[in-house]
Amino acid sequence: MRVNDAVRRSAVGIGPERTIGDAAEIMEQAGVGALAVIDKGHIIGLVTDRDLVRRGLACRLSADARVDAVMTTDVVTVQADTDLHDVFAIFRTHGFRRLPVTRGEKFVGMITIDDLVIDLAADLADLARPITGEVLFAHRDIPAAVTTA
Amino acid sequence: MQASVGDRIVIGGRRVGQPDRTCEVLEVHGTDGGPPYVVRWGDSGHTTVFFPGSDAVVQDSEPATK
């Protein structure tokens, strides 16, 4: 399975010149916890709700501060055709929960740990189905009929 | 996904009780109506670049003909 097949949620991007107040409102309106910071079609950073709190509010930044003041740069990305197992490894190695997906140099979406958990839960359910059937409706051999001469 | 300027995109709520969210397509930056799109969100007027996932559905801007 490829990364692109597992991306479920829409992703939202904003320009680096936008304010952190805008970013918070957009997160609320779009229902996302992270925004890709896009410049000329390329992802140059990632700003999360946590960034807004830790690097914005906690540092007494004004709501008019620019997004690029609080965003995370040097973002680790993954190509859309990467095998999903490699994404597991990236999440395991790094301490983040979201991974921007790119095709070539272009940002195309975001994959989250939540997406992977949903896939894993579905796989587990598929595996559990025959086991559940066996436990609940155990197949018992019917003894052969004894015939007497 | 294919969309045109003026189409609305609806993103389904992810939790019970969470309302759907809508945005209007202002610009289409992909080829053949493909993403990314520049959209305007709800009533706030904020514009963003939008990369639709499988949770997003395009609503045609033109009313259906009978």
Q: Across the interface, which of B21, B42, B51 has its CB nearest the CB of A11?
A: B51
pLDDT, residue A4, reads 84
- Count of CB contacts below 8 A, A vs B? 65
pLDDT, residue A120, reads 83
Residue A148 has pLDDT above 60, yes or no: yes
Inter-chain residue contact A13 with B13, CB threshold 8 Å: no
Residue B44 lies in a domain: yes
Where is average pLDDT lowest: A80-94, A97-111, A129-143, B45-59? Answer: A129-143
Residue B47 structure tokens = 């514009």
Range of the domain at B48: 8-59
Residue B40 lies in a domain: yes
ipTM above 0.90, yes or no: no
Residue A130 has pLDDT above 60, yes or no: yes
pLDDT, residue A142, reads 66
pLDDT, residue A73, reads 93
Spatial distance between the Cα atoms of A106 and A52, rounded to a whole number of angstroms: 25
Residue B66 has pLDDT above 60, yes or no: no
Residue B1 lies in a domain: no
Inter-chain residue contact B11 with A108, CB threshold 8 Å: no
pLDDT tens digits for A19-60? 999 999 999 888 889 999 999 888 999 999 999 999 999 999
Q: What is the 3-state secondary structure (H, E, C) of A4-34?
A: HHHCCCCEEEECCCCEHHHHHHHHHHHCCCE
- Domains annotated on chain A, with CATH: 3-136 (3.10.580.10)
Interface probe, candidates B41, B51, B57, chain A, greatest A C-beta count within 10 A: B51
B22 near B7, Cβ under 8 Å?
Answer: no
Residue B66 lies in a domain: no
Residue B29 lies in a domain: yes
Q: What is the DSSP string of B26-65?
A: EEE-SGGGPSPEEEEETTT--EEEEE--TTEEEE-SSPPP
Spatial distance between the Cα atoms of A90 and A29, rounded to a whole number of angstroms: 29
Angle at B41 between CA B60 and CA A5, to 5 degrees: 70
Taking CB atoms and an 8 Å cutoff, what residues of chain B touch A29? 21, 41-42, 44, 46
Spatial distance between the Cα atoms of A13 and A70, rounded to a whole number of angstroms: 15
Taking CB atoms and an 8 Å cutoff, what residues of chain A touch B36? 13, 41, 107-108
Inter-chain residue contact B11 with A31, CB threshold 8 Å: yes
Residue B64 lies in a domain: no
Cis peptide before B36 (omega within 30 of 0): yes
Q: Strands, E, within chain A: which ranges?
A: 11-14, 34-39, 42-48, 78-79, 98-103, 106-112
Structural domain tally of chain B?
1
pLDDT, residue A149, reads 62
A102 near A18, Cβ under 8 Å?
Answer: no
pLDDT tens digits for A62-92? 999 999 999 999 999 999 999 988 998 898 8
pLDDT, residue A6, reads 84
